[in-house]
């Protein structure tokens, strides 16, 4: 006979009992709960690259630039989002008062956007308030220019995943790649999967 004494189960020597009688619990096998088979995980979830490039693409939608919208997302080594940014004017510089025109760059650069607009990569770096970006990864929808490459290198970002490279071969991008190669910053182009995700906002 099994007796309860002071909260402990007293099992006489030689007595044969079941684990339940003894107050023991049998180990539950993986995928089971209470002896029933549990449902498996969903298999069509998005990858890390899809997730972070999607965040960069969504950030680009915040840009007021009528010709080019670029978004960036900086991610830690353990896949945590650190910062985001998109191309636009600095704080305090009105989107309605400063010029968005790019056609007058050579004739009247003062009234073209290039003296005023900050690229998404630099905005993402400047938006970060957590300390060091050393070893982080940058997702950006357009390959960084030479000016952004300088900031990326100085910030300690070690990997760039980019979408479009439509300015490949231009002096700015050639200079960018030259600096990134010299500094040991890895970069590769994102390969779209073709999956469509609809978000209602």
Helix (H, G, I), strand (E, B) or coil at 50: helix
What is the separation of C-alpha 184 from the centre of its chain, rounded to a whole number of angstroms? 21
Helix (H, G, I), strand (E, B) or coil at 21: helix
Retrieve residue 64's tokens.
């007021």
Retrieve residue 118's tokens.
């900050």
Has 121 been annotated as catalytic? Answer: yes
Supply φ then ψ for residue 129, to 5 degrees: -120, 10
Q: Which residues contact 175 (CB under 8 A, 6 or more apart)?
A: 146, 149
Of the listed 4, 97, 105, 121, which one is catalytic? 121
Residues with a known catalytic role: 121
């Amino acid at each position: 006979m099994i007796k309860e004494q002071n909260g402990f189960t007293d099992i006489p020597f030689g007595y044969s009992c079941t684990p339940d009688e003894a107050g023991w619990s049998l180990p539950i096998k993986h995928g089971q709960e209470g002896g029933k088979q549990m449902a498996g995980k969903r298999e069509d979830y998005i990858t890390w690259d899809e997730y972070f490039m999607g965040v960069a693409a969504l950030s680009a939608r915040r840009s007021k630039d009528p010709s080019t919208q670029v978004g960036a997302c900086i991610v830690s080594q353990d896949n945590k989002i650190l910062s985001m940014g998109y191309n636009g004017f600095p704080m305090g510089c009105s989107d309605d008062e400063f010029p968005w025109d790019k056609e007058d760059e050579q004739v009247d650069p003062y009234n073209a956007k290039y003296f005023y607009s900050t690229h998404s990569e630099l905005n993402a770096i400047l938006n970060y308030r957590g300390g060091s970006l050393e070893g982080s990864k940058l997702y950006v929808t357009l390959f960084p220019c030479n000016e952004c490459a300088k900031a990326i290198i100085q910030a300690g970002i070690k990997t760039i995943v980019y979408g479009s490279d439509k300015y490949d071969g231009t002096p700015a991008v050639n200079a960018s790649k030259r600096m990134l190669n010299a500094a040991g910053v890895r970069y590769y182009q994102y390969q779209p999967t073709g999956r469509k995700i609809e978000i209602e906002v």
